[in-house]
Amino acid sequence: MGNESNGEAAWCFSQIKGALDDDVTDANIISCVEFNHDGELLATGDKGGRVVIFQRDPASKTVSPRRGEYNVYSTFQSHEPEFDYLKPLEIEAKINKIRWLRAKNPVHFLLATNDKTVKLWKVSERDKSFEGYNTKGENGLTKDPQNITALRVPSVKQIPLMVEASPRRIFANAHTYDINSISVNSDQETYLSADDLRINLWHLEVTKESFNIVDIKPTNMEELTEMITAAEFHPTECNVFVYSSSKGTIRLCDMRSSALCDRHSKQFEEPENPTNRSFFSEFISSISDVKLSNSGRYMISRDYLSIKVWDLHMETKPIETYAVHEYLRAKLCSLYENVCILDKFECCWNGKDTSIMTGSYNNFFRVFDRKTKKDVTLEASRDFVKPKTVLKPRKVCTGGKRKKDEISVDCLDFNKKILHTAWHPQENIIAVAATKNLFIFQDKF
């Protein structure tokens, strides 16, 4: 984690992306954040269907200490709003998930999905152009061969660097319900897409067909008791994947056992304490995100109030449980009324699997150190956007006398929420999406 200061992890501000005014249009709200496998590129998707890719500033890696600074590399429109005339229903352009493929050469590939369609994008650089063609004029039109009287040797001309994004594959018409997850397999040839009731397996070269590997849709929809909330492939074993449900369970499936993985290999679930049972139990136990560790031995699951670490060798209970914002348990009634109880918070690992991060309200986000068992609450605030500013740990007061640096639980802004976070795969650099702004923090200089 960050350097330790007074027993607390120390992080400092590095950059903020996006306009600093208070004017928020729905299309500009960031809906996903993802580093690529070496952390050189950072992609964000927004509700308007745009993807913005940031590239690590080369100079920020050579200075001492290294800085986590990123510059805009490419911006493109991935998805457009559509209308499904059969439903009838408007399909939003909003990017739900972005997943990078591992780079094999200077060209980069990423998958981006909205509610219904997954697209494979190629992002490449071009700094040369060819001119002096024999059969093509300067205006790009084809010449009449009979008018060509002499042969020219085309020449290569140096041009300013251009970054081009082009759609290579479009995977559509396979989901009746909204897609909530995509995950690239470790074989880098297949990927899965999951919606509320089904998970499909695709080959990256084949757009016309996919294989349905999980289907929990009951014959009679009135018997529906749970939905799929997230799904992910194992980082090294290409036949294994996990998916979480709204009932608070995580199922691990092995595709070698059968073509349709309706029968799971393992089921991870913590029995509910009957004394804590309430009207809100089903809401707060629903898992909003699940992430396997880089080593493949552990996984984390995020529910409304906590984040849990599971050992894949032990199904009966998590090995660690961290309270994210336990002070909200007394506020569940008002969170139900303002629909915040349905918010889907994501979670992520650091590169060494020693720390985990997730978001909260009031633009707070939480970082937990698994080794020291220390945790810290930090704020993504535009009030502290001076580079190298050390973030002050925030504390929430639940009652009694409030201390100077504490904020009362009644003063929390539930419209400001950190749903999407990402951690650099090799360094202590984190990206946090706060409405329309992307904050980048790193450990203390």
Most distant pair of Cα atoms in the chain: their distance: 92
Q: Is residue 193 part of a domain?
A: yes
Q: Considering only CA atoms, which of 203, 172, 210 is closest in space to residue 189?
A: 203
Between the alpha carbon of residue 344 and those of residues 36, 126, 420, 438, the distances in Å are 22, 39, 9, 18
E strands present in 107-265: 108-113, 118-131, 155-171, 181-184, 190-194, 198-203, 211-215, 228-233, 240-245, 250-254
Q: Is residue 114 part of a domain?
A: yes
pLDDT more than 70, % of the chain: 98
Query: Mean pLDDT, to the nearest integer, of 81-94?
Result: 86
pLDDT over 60 (residue 331): yes
Among 162-176, 344-358, 395-409, which stretch is predicted with the lowest mean pLDDT? Answer: 395-409
b or e along 169-192 (b: 16 or more beta carbons within 10 Å of the residue's beta carbon)?
bebeebbeeebbbbbbbbeeebbb
Three-state DSSP class for residue 190:
strand
- Who wins on pLDDT, 23 or 107? 107
Give the pLDDT of residue 7: 40
Q: Is residue 1 part of a domain?
A: no
pLDDT over 80 (residue 425): yes
Among 283-292, 327-336, 347-356, 376-385, which stretch is predicted with the lowest mean pLDDT? Answer: 376-385
When the pLDDT of each residue in the chain is averaged and rounded to a whole number, the result is 92
Q: Is residue 5 part of a domain?
A: no
Q: Considering only CA atoms, which of 164, 162, 95, 161 is closest in space to residue 123?
A: 164
Give the pLDDT of residue 127: 81
Which structural domain, as residue segments, surrounds residue 319?
11-443
pLDDT over 70 (residue 359): yes
Q: Is residue 4 part of a domain?
A: no
pTM of the model: 0.90
**Per-residue pLDDT tens for 109-132?**
999 999 999 999 999 988 888 877
**Per-residue pLDDT tens for 360-385?**
999 999 999 999 999 999 999 988 77
Q: Considering only CA atoms, which of 307, 320, 318, 314 is closest in space to residue 365?
A: 307
pLDDT band for position 9 (cuts 50, 70, 90): low
Q: Is residue 151 part of a domain?
A: yes
Give the pLDDT of residue 5: 40
Domain total of the chain: 1
Q: Is residue 355 part of a domain?
A: yes
What tokens were used for 101?
A: 């493929």
Q: Residue 217 and residue 220: Cα distance in Å, rounded?
A: 8
pLDDT over 80 (residue 264): yes
**Per-residue pLDDT tens for 165-212?**
999 999 999 999 999 999 999 999 999 999 999 999 999 999 999 999
Contact 244, 268 (CB under 8 A): no
**Per-residue pLDDT tens for 33-63?**
999 999 999 999 999 999 999 999 998 888 8
Q: Is residue 205 part of a domain?
A: yes
**Per-residue pLDDT tens for 214-249?**
999 999 999 999 999 999 999 999 999 999 999 999
Among 182-196, 250-264, 269-283, 327-341, which stretch is predicted with the lowest mean pLDDT? Answer: 269-283
pLDDT band for position 151 (cuts 50, 70, 90): confident
Q: Is the dihedral of CA 273, 276, 278, 284 positive or negative?
A: negative
**Per-residue pLDDT tens for 273-314?**
887 788 899 999 999 999 999 999 999 999 999 999 999 999
* CATH number, domain containing residue 121: 2.130.10.10
pLDDT band for position 4 (cuts 50, 70, 90): very low
